[in-house]
Amino acid sequence: MVDSIRIRLTLWYTGVLAIVIGLLCTVAYFIFWRSTVQRTDANLVELSDSFLVTLRAELEDQSGPDVFLAAAHVAIDEHHFRDTLYAIADLTGKAILTSLDTPSANSPSKAGRKVLSSASFQNFLDASLHTDRLFSQIPVTEAGYRGFAQHFTAKGKSYILIILQSLHPQKQMMEEAGSAFAWLIPIAILLASGGGYFLARKSLAPVVAMSSQAGRIGAANLHERLAVQNEKDELGHLAGSFNNLLDRLAESFDRQRRFMADASHELRTPVAILRGESEVALSHQARPPEEYRESLRVLHHEAERLTRIVEDLFTLTRADAGQYPLKRSDFYLDELIAECVHSARTLAQAKKISLTFEGAAESPIQADESLVRRMLLNLLDNAIKYTPEFGRVTVACHRNGKEYVVSISDTGGGVPAELRPRIFERFFRADKARSRSEADGGGAGLGLAISRWIAEAHQGQLELARSDSTGSTFTAHLPVDSGPSISSS
Ligand code: ADP
């Protein structure tokens, strides 16, 4: 198989062209031959009419016993042409006079003799007995003869006039045309295939250019794009699609890069604190036990924070790779919410925040219980974290058609309007200093990203429904039965 499209196209083009030209020439050859034969037939009819006029005129002029033969001789003499033979037969099928019997009719050739004595001629003569007019091909020489037979009466008797016309000149003309075709066609095909190759090369040149451009694009220069010459043609569409693909890849690469940079940045802080704190603890020979206890408390806290970040990162990475199959089970959402509220109560009490769950009717759901718990705890944790002392956090749940709507409202300071669209981004924190502070539990900005992914993995959604200076409300929509989906971000 030829590997180059240019050559394949040229070969196909040449092959199809050769077949089309071959067919056209064959058809043209037959049409031409047919019209030549028709013209010959018309000539034969004219010749026959003129022959009979002469014959009849001679019969009127002459008298005597052999008057018919004499008149026929004269008519043959007068109508003698090269490559034409005459014969007159009676109705028994016997030739009574032919061109050969007319000495004055300029020496009928050897070929003529052969024709008139041939079996083909006799067959034609026999066939003409049964019909008034007959045309036929007489394949006696290489080129063959065209024969015409016509019945006529003279002096009260019926005869058959037969005129044979050699097809040699016509055949010769056809052969000359054929041999001209024989060298013209290959030259035409050769020229056309050269042109075809040139065109294929020219039309595929942009593809070659695009392929070498594409070959040069790698991770380092992912922002380069293919040149689009005409965005409306097919190659323009191809280049456009390729560029769109590169856009998506570049965006995904950028996201990954940002993710890596943010992740390492987030990990660096607790690691630095761990190192610093342990160095301080080890630097003094003897320290009061309270100081060691304090150092250990800080170490423990940072280790917990580190563990949480690593777990969150692991969750998101698995979710991105689509490798986080949901473990669905049947449970009651209202019970799970009550459980989470109970767990968060200690945190709330520490800040003297009133935490209430308004309760809900029985809410059976089929979902991944541990993921939904994680989402609820994240939202509760945030609500408490971003609400000042003596504030209020309220949780509500109700069914709306085929989904549950869980809302968690707080009386915190809200999210600034310009930051609202970004709070679900990974590593995004509205107030970095505050949310990383120890007192607030040191979030890494992954909580909402994971919570939204959990809602979406259940075919639901999580949104910031309200946020102003009086507080915020996050609303999670969870389908009653989210179907057998495999999670991915
Ligand atoms: P973090 O670990 O910082 O809490 P999250 O992804 O959970 O990360 O939240 C991202 C940001 O959204 C937070 O840094 C905070 O600025 C804002 N945010 C989240 N929940 C609330 C809330 N209930 N009230 C005000 N701001 C909030």
Q: Give me the DSSP letters along 46-81.
A: HHHHHHHHHHHHHHHH--STTHHHHHHHHHHHHT--
Contact predicate 382/471, CB 8 Å: no
390 C-alpha to center of ligand 1: Å? Answer: 19
- Say how many Å lie between the CA of residue 429 and the centre of ligand 1: 6
Asked whether 448 lines ligand 1 (CB < 6 A), one says yes
Cα-based angle 194, 200, 204 (whole degrees, multiple of 5): 150
pLDDT score of 419 = 93
Residue type, 316: L
Question: What residue owns the CA closest to ligand 1's atom 7?
Answer: 447
- Which residues are CB-contacts of 486 (< 8 A; sequence separation ≥ 6)? 322, 324, 325, 326
Neighbours of 154 (CB within 10 A): 18
User: pTM for the complete prediction?
Assistant: 0.59
235 CB within 6 A, ligand 1: no
**pLDDT score for 106:** 52
Rounded to whole angstroms, the Cα distance separating 51 from 80 reads: 10
What is the pLDDT, as a whole number, of residue 427?
87
With 0-12 / 13-18 / 19 or more C-beta atoms within 10 angstroms meaning exposed / middle / buried, residue 30 is exposed
Q: What DSSP string runs through 264-291?
A: HHHHHHHHHHHHHHHHHHHHSSS--HHH
> What secondary structure letter does DSSP report for 485?
P
Q: 355 C-alpha vs ligand 1 centroid, how far in Å? A: 18
Give pLDDT, residue 478. Answer: 97
Minimal-distance CA residue to ligand 1 atom 12:
423
Q: Which of 94, 176, 101, 99 is nearest to 145 (CA)?
A: 99
Token pair 């008057």: residue = 67
Residues 6+ apart with CB under 8 A from 370: 327
- Residues contacting 129, CB < 8 A, separation 6+: 91, 93, 160
Cα(103) to ligand 1 centroid in Å equals: 128
444-463 b/e with 16+ CB inside 10 Å = b?
bbbbbbbbbbbbbbbebebe
Task: List pLDDT tens digits, range 110-169.
Answer: 777 888 888 999 999 999 999 999 999 988 878 889 999 999 998 888 999 999 998 988
What's residue 438's pLDDT?
Answer: 46
pLDDT < 50 positions in the chain: 105, 434-440, 485-489
Ranges of beta strands (E only) in 346-468 are: 354-357, 364-368, 392-400, 403-410, 461-468
